[in-house]
């Protein structure tokens, strides 16, 4: 019984990254890889935050700009810009972020519910807020980033793509 309690209270490892001068965290278990920004193939009739797809060792992976997904101003991509490839229910997709910070352990007791910010701030993509080493980290719920209708649009468009550059 004691071991069950310890396992339930185990720290959650989060990959932290910056986006528009804020710090976010994503569950490290969902992260498949981190790669530098590379050009993608645009898919017609997709939302503006879906930049396109890339061929990642045979898998066609949709890539979204997290700034645009959150309704923020788009920035030019620089040397620190990265794509975090995540897996949700066996489906891969990439999120473009400003820079990756590090992996941190967050105690479950340190996670607070996201306050209701009304219509001013869209918080549906957040699981909670945590303080880590004097920093506020917004914990991302990656399962909510890609809407089912976006997935359907991408799947319908994929057969029309003739060539996609292969990313190493």
So what's the pLDDT on residue 135? 87
| Measured distance CA(43)–CA(62) in Å, rounded | 9
- pLDDT tens digits, the chain, 168 residues: what are they? 455 554 567 899 999 999 999 999 999 999 999 999 998 988 887 888 889 899 898 888 999 999 998 888 999 999 999 999 999 877 899 999 999 999 999 999 999 998 876 554 567 889 999 988 888 999 999 888 776 666 666 666 655 554 444 454
Neighbouring residues of 168: CB distance < 8 A, sequence distance ≥ 6: 57
CA 168, CA 164: separation in Å to the nearest integer? 12
Under 8 Å between Cβ of 37 and 77:
yes
- pLDDT score for 118: 54
What pLDDT shows up at residue 94? 94
> Given this model, what pLDDT does residue 86 score?
94
The pLDDT score that the predictor gives to residue 100 is 96
39-66 as b/e, with b when 16 or more CB fall inside 10 Å?
ebbebeebeebbbbbbbbeeebbbbbbb
- What pLDDT does 159 receive? 57
pLDDT at 162: 46
């Amino acid at each position: 019984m004691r071991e069950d309690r310890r396992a339930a209270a185990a720290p959650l490892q989060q990959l932290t990254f910056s986006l528009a001068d804020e710090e976010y965290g994503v569950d490290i278990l969902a992260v498949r890889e981190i790669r530098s920004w590379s050009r993608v193939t645009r898919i017609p009739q997709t939302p503006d935050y879906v930049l396109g797809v890339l061929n990642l060792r045979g898998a066609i992976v949709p890539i979204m700009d997290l700034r645009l997904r959150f309704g923020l101003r788009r920035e030019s991509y620089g040397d620190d810009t990265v794509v975090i490839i995540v897996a949700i229910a066996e489906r891969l997709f990439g999120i473009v972020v400003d820079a990756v910070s590090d992996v941190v352990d967050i105690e479950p007791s340190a996670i607070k519910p996201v306050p209701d910010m009304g219509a001013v701030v869209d918080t549906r993509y957040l699981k909670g807020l945590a303080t880590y080493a004097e920093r506020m980290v917004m914990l991302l719920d990656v399962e909510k980033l890609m809407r089912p209708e976006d997935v359907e649009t991408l799947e319908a468009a994929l057969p029309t793509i003739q060539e996609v550059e292969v990313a190493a």
